[in-house]
Amino acid sequence: MTDKIIPVVMCGGAGTRLWPSSRESRPKQFLPLMGDLSTFQQTLMRVKDPETFGRPVVVTNATYRFLVAEQLSKIGIEADIVLEPSRRDSGPAVAAAAAFVTQRHGDAVICVLAADHVIHDVSGFRANCKAAASAAERGYLVTFGIRPDRAAVEYGYIKPAQDIGNGVNEVA
């Protein structure tokens, strides 16, 4: 087992919600929507902490492999790229990445990240990842959530239960 968290970045979505800026040929995760870097690049910069994170794994499809490689190169980050044979949503992408990481690192802790999320508090994110890794090493499957500020039927809700330490709760 590696003592570092292996970040897995899911980067295969078509990004159709921001059309016309985001299109099939260049989806939202590759666009610099908030600053000079794309959200994909920002996601990778958040896990650029060699004391905490290992080499990232990017799960994408053949259509985006060159965009992924180009954007990785521009920020000076090396990653393993796992290509999906076809888009099948998050579950199969996570399973493929988990199998890849297991072959490379054995029983490693992985942190699955979406390429289009925006997180401003990078130090808080990293601290939460460390706390989550501690829980994962004790056998917990960890999910992150944010406190909702409005009702949103397109998302689920996580109801926290018993505190298991380090600010991590079981899910009710």
Each residue's pLDDT tens digit, 53-108: 999 999 998 888 999 999 999 999 999 999 987 677 788 889 999 999 999 999 89
Domain ranges of the chain: 6-141
Provide the whole-model pTM: 0.89
For the cut 80, the answer to whether the pLDDT of residue 26 exceeds it is: no
The DSSP bridge pattern shows strands 110-114 and 6-10 to be: parallel
Tell me yes or no: is domain 6-141 CATH 3.90.550.10.
yes
Of residues 130 and 22, more confidently modeled: 130
> HEC states along the chain?
CCCCEEEEEECCCCCHHHCCCCECCECHHHCCCCCCCCHHHHHHHHCCCCCCECCCEEEEEHHHHHHHHHHHHHCCCCCEEEEECCCCCHHHHHHHHHHHHHHHHCCCCEEEEECCCCCCCHHHHHHHHHHHHHHHHCCCCCCCCCCCCCCCCCCCCCCEEEEEECCEEEEC
Considering only CA atoms, which of 39, 49, 53, 41 is closest in space to residue 4? 53
Contact 111, 129 (CB under 8 A): yes
Instruction: Kindly indicate the confidence band of residue 36, based on its pLDDT and cuts at 50, 70 and 90.
Output: very high
What pLDDT is recorded for position 129? 95
Tokens of 41: 């690049």
**Residue 132 · residue 113 · CB < 8 Å:** no
**Cα 5 from Cα 120, distance rounded (Å):** 20
